Structure 1
Amino acid sequence: MKKIIIVLLIVLLGSAMVVATFAKDQNLTGITKLRNGTVNAVILGDSIAVSQGASDPLTTGWNSELKTSLFNKYANNIVWDNKASAGHLIDYSLQRATEIVSTTDAVFICSGRIDRNFDTPDQFGKKYAQLINDIKSRAPNADIFCIVEPPMISSDESLFLGIRTAIIDVSANTGSNLLDVWSTFPQNQVDLVEYLLDGLHPNDKGYKLMSDYIYNQIVKVINEVKRRKTVIPIQQFFSIH
């Protein structure tokens, strides 16, 4: 009886190892490609998307900091195609989204700050949903990340709360990845000063905080996908073969 049990354990262990190897060898898509190669990512949005306020956006901007952090962990690069531009509404992102190619692995949407003064949350939410659908039609395998921009020091900051809610809702309804950067910044405006250059745009410290938050969320996404792919029922494995 003991010998039978030992043999069964060996068979099960061997099967588990084969399954794990099988999962590891699967073609990775989206942001998870960082585990074994380069990721091509697009940025859409406004002035914060282009790291306005950083001393040198090429080195201290949020996406520059993020690229460095992810390379240090995965030894692979993100190649950025930043289609954002300062001073534009989400309508501009809708225009630039038409340039997204099918080989895009990830899209980061960083918009909404200016829109609070032009669109109601409902109007903005509809445009945001349209943007995500447009991205999906052009790059079906891309992971979409919806960034809620940091809070600002302003008497009309309350207007942005509706925009934030719209982004959260649309992100959930479309199966996108929410990056609620807003929540990681101080909500007290006295403390917030330390992270902003001009009351709106983050300074280097603010963009580093933003980058660190996004980094941690991306790692969670990659780890979750890895976990799901590794834990494949043995029956499913053999049915595939």
Structure 2
Amino acid sequence: MFLVMVVSFIFVIVVIRNKANAKEETVLIDQQKGIKKTEVGRTSDLNFYRKLYEKKDINALIVGDSIAQGTGSSNVHERWINVLVKDVQKKYKSTIKTDPITGGGTTGVRAWVELNNAKFTKQYDVVFICLGQNDQFNIKPKQFSMFYEGIIIKLKKLNPNIEIIPIIESSFRQYNDYSNVIENLAEHYNLQYADMVQAFNNSGKPYDSLSKDLVHPNSKGYVYYAKTIEKVINDNYLSNKKTDIDYSVFYNNTNKLTDFVFDNSPDLNNGFTIEDGFIGNKVSENLTFNTTNSVAIIHFLRKPKGGKFKVFIDDNFIKEINTNSTFQVSYSDLIAYKLRGNHKIRIEISYIINKGSVKVLGLVTN
């Protein structure tokens, strides 16, 4: 009986100790989880420059046109972004992962549309905006200012701590109304821009020696892009720049872009088939959208064996858009930005390449 009591006592002691140890382990695990959670939260609050200082991984977004893509370089390694990533990693010991949005032929309109349409799965620390070359021939400076500022505001909403580095493209050759927009917005939002007009002019080399086709830089020209952007980054790094700022809208027209509406449900469809958009392959097939908003943008596909469509607002012809291209890419064309009241926007096929088609993705309004 005595032995039974001793064994029972020992068993009870062991059980109590095991429970105590288990409780201590649970507390320790919870503390470790708390520490990890705090670390994750702290890291997400760090801005681009603090992450460089702490040698953290960087997520970068590239918003822009074919120059943003590095078109004109001899190979992929000589594109400005890849030169920049390599140099930053060497200097700051931080790895930069880059994601492009938009591409060749991009204007501020398309960039704004696709930025708002994108479903991002990560938080970006820095974004490079490389726009303006194509805008000169597609939209007015007043419209460019509206969409460029709309892009900045959208990026700040995605991450208030994001660093935005605008690029004044070398292809401007000289300062103009479009570069002035970039300078004005940079000053207003405390952004330091990379001035490639100045960089090329101060290089001491003829412009054509730094450009492949007098628009796109060549590999030598893109070295100036990378070095100029590196200097912007380094200057901001040394000054411990703050990126979470209070801001207000600079251009009044930008207030029109507070909302983003992607309408892929036309009120009338005559002949288009539905397949991730609307595909038409016969002249006179048409789509009609009703809108009460002031901004109207047609979002469509440019592709080989495309065609043309005409745009009418309340039966008044606005413009004809060519969708034929050597490669497939989504595109956005501004139709109106001062509409008032109720309006009907009709898209009507006017020409089709043999065995081709027109693909409309939808109507974007504000």
In 2: Cα distance, 1:89 partner to 1:197 partner: 21
Among residues 164, 170, 184, which one is paired with 1:144 in the alignment?
A: 164
AA in 2 matched with 1:52: T
Q: Residue 94 of structure 1 is aligned with which of 112, 119, 122?
A: 112
| 2:61 matches 1:46 | no
Q: CA deviation at 1:188?
A: 10
Shift of 1:205: 0.1
Over 3 Å counting, the alpha-carbon distance change for 1:96 and 1:32 in structure 2 is farther
Cα distance in 1 between the residues matched to 2:113 and 2:50 = 27
Per the TM alignment, residue 80 of structure 1 is displaced from its structure 2 partner at its CA by: 0.3
Q: Distance in 1 between matches of 2:208 and 2:69?
A: 20
Report the Cα offset of residue 197 of structure 1: 0.4
> Cα deviations across residues 163-205 of structure 1 (Å, max 9, x unaligned)?
1111110111122231212211127998101100011000000
Secondary structure in 1 matching 2:170: coil
Q: Please say which of residues 117-126 and 206-215 is displaced more in the overlay.
A: 117-126
1:213-232 pair list within 5 angstroms: 213-225=228-240
**Take 2:109 and 2:224, find their aligned partners in 1: how far apart are those partners?**
28
Is contact 1:89-1:114 (8 Å) kept? yes
Aligned residue type for 1:202: P
Instruction: Identify which of 89, 94, 103 aligns with 1:85.
Output: 103
| 8 Å Cα contact 2:130/2:167 also seen in 1 | yes
| Counterpart contact for 1:102–1:139, Cα < 8 Å | no
Is the Cα–Cα contact under 8 Å of residues 94 and 131 in structure 1 kept in the other structure?
yes
- TM-score of the superposed pair, with normalisation by structure 1: 0.75
RMSD over aligned Cα atoms: 2.4
CA contact (8 A) 1:89 1:112 kept: yes
Amino acid aligned to 1:53? G
TM-aligned CA distance change 1:84 to 1:177, over 3 Å = farther
1:212 is aligned to 2:230: no
1:172 is aligned to: 187
Match of 1:107 among 127, 138, 149: 127
Give the partner amino acid of 1:131. I
- Distance between the aligned counterparts of 1:60 and 1:184, measured in 2? 18
**Offset of 1:221 from its aligned partner?**
0.7
* Offset at residue 28 of structure 1 (A): 3.1
Q: Which moved further from structure 2: 177-186 or 34-43?
A: 177-186
2:80/2:223 contact within 8 Å kept: yes
Asked if the contact 1:197–1:203 (Cα under 8 Å) also holds between the matched residues in 2, the reply is yes
Q: Which amino acid aligns with 1:138?
A: L
Q: TM-score, normalised on structure 2?
A: 0.50
Q: How far did residue 126 of structure 1 move?
A: 1.5
Query: Greater CA radius of gyration, 1 or 2?
Result: 2
Distance in structure 2 (CA, Å) of the matches to 1:65 and 1:85 = 19
- Superposed counterparts of 1:1-241, under 5 Å: 28-35=46-53, 36-57=55-76, 59-98=77-116, 99=118, 100=120, 103-151=123-171, 161-186=176-201, 191-225=206-240
Cα distance in 2, alignment partners of residues 135 and 177 from structure 1: 16
Q: Which amino acid aligns with 2:99?
A: D
Larger proportion of helix? 1
Cα gap change, 1:90/1:189 in structure 2, threshold over 3 Å: closer, same or farther? farther
**Could you say what secondary structure the match of 2:166 adopts?**
strand
Query: 1 or 2, which has the higher strand percentage?
Result: 2
Moved over 4 A (4+): 187-190
